Amino acid sequence: MEISGELKRYNIKPIRELTEEEIEYIATETTKKMEEMITEFNGKHMYKKIKEAKIYVADIPEKFTKVNYIVSTNAIYIRGVENIKVIDEVMFHEIFHYIQCNQENNGEGMPKQMGLCKFGAYNIKGLAINEAAMQLIIAMVFNKKQENHHYFGIQIKSIYNQYFPILCAILQQVIYVIGHMPLLKSILENSDDFEDAFEKFAGKNAYEFLLSSFDKMMKARDTIVENNRLMNTKTLNKNKKKILEKEINIYVKEIQNHFLAIQKLCYTEYFDPMFKKAKNENDIEALKEEVKKYHEHIGVINDKDDFMIYVQKQMNKLSKKIK
């Protein structure tokens, strides 16, 4: 059994490899759950990949999650035999990472692409949106409900996700306009389906902007979390605290700006053609119904609903045109 430097670093100690029957159980239950909650999904590819996996029962320190995929050993490690049959969000997340690393390179180091994330010679693109995509799909699989939340000054309506709520909320708007199957196919097969669908919807430059905005929002969030941690340090002086508070405000504003920019891009690209095509009162009523459904995903800052301001302006123009 391979004991890599990475396992030693994390102090993960493999105990035994899972039996074929145990792996069969995990493969069957995860794909069945996906197919039950996402009816368009075909689990054959996912099932095949899991069946090929090396999975171990292991001694894993409590500070880490109970399931971990390690790239250097190309294996999944589960804390204790009692967790083998616990098919929860953590299990799904690590299985997704395993599948993404095992498309064409057979686990030989980092692949050129992991879902929506692509590794160039000198840069990485799409890391944040790939992570958000996995979290959002997992939330859908576990039938998480749409709820009101407030993060970084943004009032959002989204499927609850404790790790990336803002990113998942804005990604929900994206998949509302292009569908969730291109996203699902891309994160499980390392395909360009999502990229192609979004570029068809809004253009190549818009897709580059989307990836960049997600990465910047994640980086800003991480900085805010770290600054908040430092501010709780007892030895921190007042001047340093003020500097950290100022930085937090700057990064909160950055998250808000990127969120609103993506949101505006999505609803204008989606609704502009509808308003242009509308010819009569029946079309207006249909538009109102679609606006009502779309509004369930809109984020608002300081009670200013930019989406409804946009809709009202378009409705006013449309009313004059039809009269």
Could you report the per-residue pLDDT of 244-267, keeping only the tens digit for each? 999 999 999 999 999 999 999 999
pLDDT of residue 251: 96
Does residue 84 register a pLDDT over 80?
yes
- Return left, alpha or beta for 17; rule: phi > 0 is left, psi -120 to 50 is alpha, else beta: beta
Confidence at 148, pLDDT banded by 50, 70, 90 = confident
In DSSP notation, 210-229 reads HHHHHHHHHHHHHHHHHHHH
Q: Are residues 66 and 165 in the same domain?
A: no
Q: Are residues 136 and 266 in the same domain?
A: yes
Q: How many residues does the chain have?
A: 323
Q: How many domains does the chain have?
A: 2
Final residue before a domain boundary, out of 62, 79, 111: 111
Percentage of the chain beyond pLDDT 70 is 95
Average pLDDT over residues 18-24: 97
277/157: higher pLDDT? 277
How far apart, in whole angstroms, are the C-alpha atoms of residue 93 and residue 300? Answer: 29
pLDDT of residue 122: 72
Q: Are residues 268 and 142 in the same domain?
A: yes
Tens-digit pLDDT profile for residues 48-83: 999 999 999 999 999 999 999 998 899 999 999 999
In a domain, 122, yes or no: no
Q: Are residues 52 and 143 in the same domain?
A: no
In a domain, 118, yes or no: no
In a domain, 34, yes or no: yes
Q: Are residues 139 and 47 in the same domain?
A: no
In a domain, 120, yes or no: no
Does residue 316 register a pLDDT over 80?
yes
In a domain, 289, yes or no: yes
Q: Are residues 98 and 25 in the same domain?
A: yes
What integer best gives the mean pLDDT of the chain?
91
Provide the Cα torsion 139, 162, 68, 185; round to 10°: 30
In a domain, 117, yes or no: no
In a domain, 235, yes or no: yes
pLDDT of residue 323: 66
Q: Are residues 279 and 238 in the same domain?
A: yes
* Closest CA relative to residue 274, chosen from 284, 262, 261: 284
Q: Are residues 166 and 283 in the same domain?
A: yes
pLDDT of residue 59: 96
How far apart, in whole angstroms, are the C-alpha atoms of residue 85 and residue 24? Answer: 11
Average pLDDT over residues 164-185: 93
Domain that includes residue 302, residue range: 127-322
Q: Are residues 142 and 51 in the same domain?
A: no
- DSSP H helices in the chain: 5-10, 20-37, 44-51, 89-101, 127-141, 165-178, 181-189, 193-202, 204-231, 238-277, 281-294, 306-322
HEC profile of 157-211: EEECCCCCHHHHHHHHHHHHHHCCHHHHHHHHHCCCHHHHHHHHHHCHHHHHHHH
How far apart, in whole angstroms, are the C-alpha atoms of residue 110 and residue 183? Answer: 21
Q: Are residues 95 and 142 in the same domain?
A: no
